Each structure stands twice: as structure tokens, then as C-alpha cells.
Amino acid sequence: MVEEAATVLSHDQLERVEAWGRASGSVAHVYRPSTLDDLRGVFQVARVNGRTIAFRGGGNSYGDAFGNREQIVLDLSRMTRILDWRPQDGIITVEPGVTVSQLWQYVLEDGWWPPVVTGTAKTTIGGCASMNTHGKNAWKLGTFGEHVRSFDLLTASGEILTCSREENSDLFFAVIGGAGLLGCFTSLTLQMKRVYSGLLRVEVATRPNLVGAMHYLEERMETADYLVGWLDAFARGRSLGRAEMHQAHYLADGEDRYTAQSSRPVNQALGDSVFGVLPKSSLWFYMQFFMNNAGTRLVNTAKYTMSRLTAGEQGKSYLQPHAAYHFLLDYVPYWKYAYGRGGLIQYQCFLPKETAEDGFRDLFQLGQRKKLPNYLSVLKRHRPDPFLLSYSIDGFSMAMDFRITDRNRARMVSLTREMDEIVLRHNGRFYFAKDSSLRPSVAEVYLGRERLDRFFELKRRVDPELMIETDLWRRVLRPLY
């Protein structure tokens, strides 16, 4: 039982909850429970005070997915216990606040690696399941949810439901990818992937344009374990979409003679300085001088040219630790601050393989025409998944980072609207984890009324009084409810 005093909403808990990209935020009462009883206590606080609750994991969604203006934000980052680990078959049960970083460090020395990891290891397992995240192997191993065996979900009524493909399966397929709107994960059981070394064989190569970049991915789908491309959104004409591409392979059993060494977490990290002198923690400061159209054009040209000279279309390969390969950005602390006071948004869209080339070309050209090119474009290959609010597709995604300033904010709004039209015209989809600009009418088209109705039916079943809400829910889905 929660005592009455404990149910008073305290002003001490008021905090600004900022989107990861820092381009938006709202003030909310933030609670950080560390036990299941504390977690239930926050639900009670919400009930008694007539407030709604949003859940936050690591706070790495670019937009408003975990914000809850003037309501309650329940931060899971202190629920970080590993509840069970079976190294013989790679099955692990964790609390929702366990991070990807904690997870890989726990399992790697036993010869396992999380099958799907995000580009930062600061995400939590609850956050990854809620958004059904993907990695650089999305076309091969699918999304995060495909490796979740079961989870426990605390619903608005206070009941804990165990969900799996066999038990409460309709909820299982809706909660994964359901943007934290149906309940709170209290534990999750996942299958890890067997690996035989702490190293990957990585190849870097260049491609002269968008078509070349897309072919690079398509041609390697059978053989590679990871595939990703970085594209230069400033290049025009025949060079539009010129790219640095990466593929990576696991090492086979016996290939690494020093597996015990390469799998030690201490041997996974990249160094913390550039050329042994400049601390990486100060890089963001120098990066900010290049965070404008002229500066980024220069950096992109230099990066592409260097890569063409050192690796070229033939490619160059080397061995790299898993963590260094996947979480490169984590080794440049505070890099998002280089975007300045207005922060950044990311716009990630998913296009079917048949329309992707035309669609991405239109998107790049639109940004160039409007003088709002994106500063970082990342191309990946995907496959469909079985989850209700899926963004996945048999095709490609392009993630594009845009700087937001006081001067360009209004123009960015109209740019994203025009981009939405292009994506819809090419039968594409969007991703709540990266979203800051989606409108209900667009969500209705790409998700379809039937899928939305099935989601809302479950929402009415487990949360009839709408106790669980987020800023994203109010912006995009609530108007369609």
C-alpha cells in the first residue's frame, strides 16, 4: 500500500524533459523508481492526482516520444538489474532500464552479442522494445522485437500481464513498437546471438552516387552480416548521394586465436583522443564551427575524398571490435551540442525497394533547392516485421539529420511537410523514435485505418481512461483515436 503522503505531486519533481535532439521539450514531474513497488507507487500518484504517465528509458528518441507536458514522466533508468542469464543458450531476462551498453558488456565474454543494437549503446531495453529499434543488420535479423521472447507489462489498472507469441499475443505484437502507449515493461526476456570473437571484419568502400550506394547494399545482402552507408547530401548531379559504404562480417569459430582477449569489454572501446593528442570530449567544440552549410559541405567533401583515396571502390578491410563498430558516435561525447542552441531533428523514412531510388533522389534535391540539406544521411536495408505499428518494409531507410536554428525553424516545418508528401507518394513509412514533425493525416495514410483501429481497440482494453499518454501521442495519434 502506498501511503497517502507519498501520493502528493511534488514540485520538487518538476524538470524540463528535453527531446534527445534538443529541438523541443516540455516540463513534467519526473519520477525515477528503482523497484517494482516504487513503480506501482507512481501509477498510484497519477491515479490520485488525475495525471497521465509517459515512460522514459534512456531518453534517446530524437523527438517527443517520452515527453508529457505538465504531467508525469516515469524514468526507468534506475531499474537496471539483470534478473537471469543462461550462457548455455544465450537467454537473458532484464529490467527495462538495462542499457544496450550494460547488456553487451554482460554477455560478450560468454560468447554472445545482442542480435540487434542501435547506433548508440545508451538506449535501454524497454526503450528499444517500445520503438522496436533496428540495427545495421535489419534486412537480415529484423527488428529488436523479433528477438524478444516475452515480457511483463504493468498496465494502467495495476495488473501485470505476461506477453509472448503464445500468451496475450495480440498485446505482444502491439506493445513492441507501440511507443510506450499500452503499459510499462517491468521485465523482458531476450535471445542473444552466438559470436566467436570480439572482433568483426569490416570493409569500407566508396560509391560515386545514390544508385551505386543502393546496389552496394543489395549485392551484399546474401553474404554480409552488417551493411550501412553514409551519403553526402550536398553532392549534386551525377554525384548525388555519393557514399562511403561499410559491410561487416562475424568471424567464424576458430578464426580469432585470442577470443578471450578480444571479448573483454576493456578491449572493445575506441581510444578517447584523436591522433593521441586531442581529447574526443572536446571535439564537439571544434565541430560547431563546421555546423553550417558551407562547413558541412567541406567536411563531407573531405571525408568522401579521403575515403576514395584510401579505400576507393575496391574497398579496404580491417578488424574492429563490435562496440567500436556499432557505437562510433558514443566515442565523440556531447557531439549533439555542436548543432548549437536550436539542436537537431532527424527525419528517417522507409521506402519500398521499387520506389526508394526515386524517392531519395527527390528528397535530396528538395533539401538542396530549399538550401536546407541534411548534415548526416545514413542508408540501411530492411525487411518487413510482424508488429502492429511497424515501420519496416522490404526496402531502404534514409535517416537525415537537420540542424534547427531560430532562423530556419519555420522553413524546416514546411520542408518536412513537403518531404512527407514525397514519402507518401512513394508508399513509404515513418518511425516514431526519430519523429518530430509527423501529422495525424500522414500517420493515418501510412499506418492505415485498420491497423490504427486494432491498436486503439487494445488501448481501450488496457488503458480505457487514457492514463498513459505522451506528447507524441497527443500530437499524432490522439486526434485519430
Ligand X SMILES: Cc1cc2nc3c(=O)[nH]c(=O)nc-3n(C[C@H](O)[C@H](O)[C@H](O)COP(=O)(O)OP(=O)(O)OC[C@H]3O[C@@H](n4cnc5c(N)ncnc54)[C@H](O)[C@@H]3O)c2cc1C
Q: Which residues bind ligand X (CB under 6 A)?
A: 20, 54-61, 65-66, 76, 96, 118-120, 123-124, 126-128, 130-131, 133-135, 179-180, 184-185, 329, 433, 470
Q: Could you tell me if 384 and 472 are in contact, meaning their C-beta atoms sit under 8 angstroms apart? A: no
Nearest to ligand X of 130, 247 (CB atom): 130
Three-class SS of the chain: CCCHHHHCCCHHHEEEEECCCECCEEEEEEECCCCHHHHHHHHHHHHHHCCCEEEECCCCCCCCCCCCCCCEEEECCCCCCEEEEECCCCEEEECCCCEHHHHHHHHHHHCEECCCCCCCCCCEHHHHHHHCCCCCCHHHHCCHHHHEEEEEEECCCCCEEEEECCCCHHHHHHHCCCCCCCCEEEEEEEECEECCCCEEEEEEEEECCHHHHHHHHHHCCCCCCEEEEEECCCCCHHHCCCEEEEEEEECCCCCCCCHHHHCCHHHCCCCCEECCCEEHHHHHHHHHHHCCHHHHHHHHHHHHHHHHHHCCCCCEEEEEEHHHHHCHHHHCCCHHHHHCCCCEEEEEEEEECCCHHHHHHHHHHHHHHCCCCCCEEEEEECCCCCCCCCCCCCEEEEEEEEECCCCCHHHHHHHHHHHHHHHHHCCCEECHHHCCCCCHHHHHHHHCHHHHHHHHHHHHHHCCCCCECCHHHHHHHHHHC
Nearest to ligand X of 420, 463 (CB atom): 463
To ligand X, the closest distance from the beta carbon of 63 in angstroms equals 9
Nearest to ligand X of 125, 233 (CB atom): 125
Q: Could you tell me if 417 and 434 are in contact, meaning their C-beta atoms sit under 8 angstroms apart? A: no
Q: What are phi and psi of 85, to 5 degrees?
A: -140, 125
Nearest to ligand X of 329, 480 (CB atom): 329
To ligand X, the closest distance from the beta carbon of 351 in angstroms equals 16
Nearest to ligand X of 393, 433 (CB atom): 433
Nearest to ligand X of 123, 268 (CB atom): 123
To ligand X, the closest distance from the beta carbon of 277 in angstroms equals 25
To ligand X, the closest distance from the beta carbon of 166 in angstroms equals 21
Q: Using CA atoms, how far apart are residues 16 and 346, in angstroms rounded to an integer?
A: 21
> If you search the block for the grid coordinates 524538470, which residue do you land on?
15
Nearest to ligand X of 93, 124 (CB atom): 124
Task: Give the residue nearest to ligand X (CB).
Answer: 127
To ligand X, the closest distance from the beta carbon of 366 in angstroms equals 24
- Residue 201 has which C-alpha cell? 571484419
Nearest to ligand X of 54, 379 (CB atom): 54
To ligand X, the closest distance from the beta carbon of 216 in angstroms equals 19
Nearest to ligand X of 106, 185 (CB atom): 185
To ligand X, the closest distance from the beta carbon of 257 in angstroms equals 31
What angle (nearest 5°) sits at the alpha carbon of residue 190, between those of residues 255 and 458? 145
To ligand X, the closest distance from the beta carbon of 130 in angstroms equals 3
To ligand X, the closest distance from the beta carbon of 66 in angstroms equals 4
Nearest to ligand X of 119, 359 (CB atom): 119
To ligand X, the closest distance from the beta carbon of 73 in angstroms equals 9
Nearest to ligand X of 96, 229 (CB atom): 96
To ligand X, the closest distance from the beta carbon of 119 in angstroms equals 3
